[in-house]
Amino acid sequence: MSNYSSLISSEEVSKIFRIFETFKKNSIFLVGGCIRDAILQKDVTDIDFATSLTPDETTNLLDQNNIQSVDVGKKYGTVTAIINQKKYEITSFRKDISTDGRHATVTFTKDMKEDAQRRDFTFNALYVDSNGKIFDFYNGQEDLKNGNVIFIGDPNERIKEDYLRILRYFRFFALFENSDIDPDLQKVFTVNHAHLSNISNERKWHEFKEILKLKTPHNSLHMMESVGILKTHFEGALLDENFKNLIEIESRIGAVPNPIIRLSTLIGSSLEKTNHFINSFPLSKTDSTELLKLSSLNKKIVSYLSMKEVRYLLYKLGKTEFQNQIIINWSRDTQNKNEVNWRSLYEVADNWTKPDFGISPKDIINMGIEQGPMVGRIMSEVEDWWAENDFIDDKFSLIERLKAIVQAQK
């Protein structure tokens, strides 16, 4: 059974196949990333189709079968079908008439191979029909098996059609953990990467973050740095010994790669550079907050913390932020003189359980403090005292401290 048979047999995909094949035989195919990822046995998140029907025919066919559709990409040949709240892009076979490096003017065709010719890499030009037969015009399966990232046709022409393909190349280069680039291809990147400035920062950030998520992106980033991409397009990101150390640490402790920790290491701890990056690229609120926290390293986190200090910092920062700070501080210990200590601190956090404070706003109100901001301030003061005293497990002492603080406010 093929790796993509489960895609074909899913309820929504089989429904789309059935509708199109009933209308016209051999008119629709799974295509691109979903086939690539299925063969690689990776999770398939986006399922795309290619069809010999025109966009109007696709829209009409979906309407006739009571399938909701969205046609905002219709002028580029794409209609999105929505089944069971899942989205499936169905794009007509097409070929480019002209392109400006960001968007193409297309015309529609009935020829699958013409459609394949406009795609970026050989392994992204794989088509599968409803019976599981695969159509591979450019040896994409073999390139996928061998981890080869090969442009279809002339790399220079493919890149000029969409300059984002430069970053997509480096994403797959990192995915396959490759180490060398053909010198002629490196020259193509060097000549063309300046045009990435015409690509939206949203699209660039998406690709860059995907690179940073991968297990071992170091070689890919090194190649990007060597042709000038990091410095020119990513706020002077610098690939140094700290980053290499970070990747090795993640591997040794089995940590899931965190793209924001990696980004922080690349752009450094300068708050000015961090804010500039956040203002330039559309990071999510969560990512922006994490990056800002990492840019101002917690100076209290050192390799020789006492267990009392560890418990206090874990309580104040939380497990995730504490471990993030451990990893990034550890990565800057490039001599690895304190690896045993750093590892121990990281592992302590894995087994930490947050203690229960045991005081509520109601306790403070019952002592005669009116409900309002004062209650919160008293809560914080008592909680700080409790944490600084190693989470004293003595309710009587805690209440007495609370009484003293309340009395001072009256």
Is 23 within a domain? yes
pLDDT score for 16:
96
305 Cβ neighbours under 8 A, 6+ residues apart? 313, 345
pLDDT means over runs of 10, the chain (410 residues): 77 95 95 94 92 96 95 88 95 84 79 94 96 95 95 94 96 91 94 95 96 95 94 87 92 93 90 90 94 81 91 93 92 82 93 90 87 90 92 86 83
Q: Do 288 and 303 fall within a single domain?
A: no
Q: What is the pTM of this model?
A: 0.87
In-domain check, residue 157:
no
276 & 199 share domain: yes
Which domain-ending residue is among 128, 152, 176? 152
Residue-level pLDDT at 3: 72
**In 3D, which of 200, 41, 183, 16 has the Cα closest to residue 91?**
16
Q: 23-26, long-range: CB within 8 Å, 24+ apart, which pairs?
A: 23/53, 23/61, 24/52, 24/53, 26/52, 26/129
Do residues 70 and 110 share a domain?
yes
Number of domains in the chain: 4
183: Cβ–Cβ under 8 A, 6 or more apart, which residues? Answer: none
Q: Do 281 and 253 have their domain in common?
A: yes
Q: Are 51 and 97 within one domain?
A: yes
Q: Does 356 fall in a domain?
A: no
Domain end position, chosen among 152, 183, 206: 152
Q: Is residue 58 part of a domain?
A: yes
Only one residue has tokens 């040794």, namely 252
Q: Tell me how far apart the alpha carbons of residues 371 and 9 are, in angstroms, rounded to a whole number.
A: 60
Among 296, 319, 336, identify where a domain stops: 296
- The answer on 220 and 113 residing in a single domain is no
39 C-beta neighbours (distance < 10 Å), count: 18
Q: Is 166 left (phi over 0), alpha (psi -120 to 50) or beta?
A: alpha
Statement to judge: residues 260 and 189 lie in one domain: yes
Asked whether residue 77 is assigned to any structural domain, the reply reads yes
CATH number at residue 5: 3.30.460.10
| Domain shared by 89 and 138, yes or no | yes
Domain that holds residue 377: 361-409
**314 lies in the same domain as 181:** no
The verdict on residue 290 lying in a domain is yes
pLDDT at position 70, please? Answer: 92
Per-residue model confidence (pLDDT) at position 251: 92
Tell me, yes or no, whether 266 and 319 share the same domain: no
Give pLDDT, residue 384: 92
Distance CA 163, CA 165 (A): 5
**What would the two tokens of residue 77 be?**
């040949």
Residue 49 placed within a domain:
yes
Q: How many CB atoms lie within 10 A of CB 115?
A: 26
309 within some domain? yes
Q: Closest Cα to residue 121, out of 178, 81, 78, 65? A: 178
Domain with residue 243: its CATH number is 1.10.3090.10
70 and 84 part of one domain: yes
Q: Measuring CA to CA, how many Å separate 353 from each of 347, 349, 350, 357?
A: 13, 8, 9, 12
User: Between β-strands 126-128 and 28-31, what pairing exists: parallel, antiparallel or unpaired?
Assistant: antiparallel
For residue 366, what pLDDT is reported? 86
Q: Are residues 366 and 325 in the same domain?
A: no
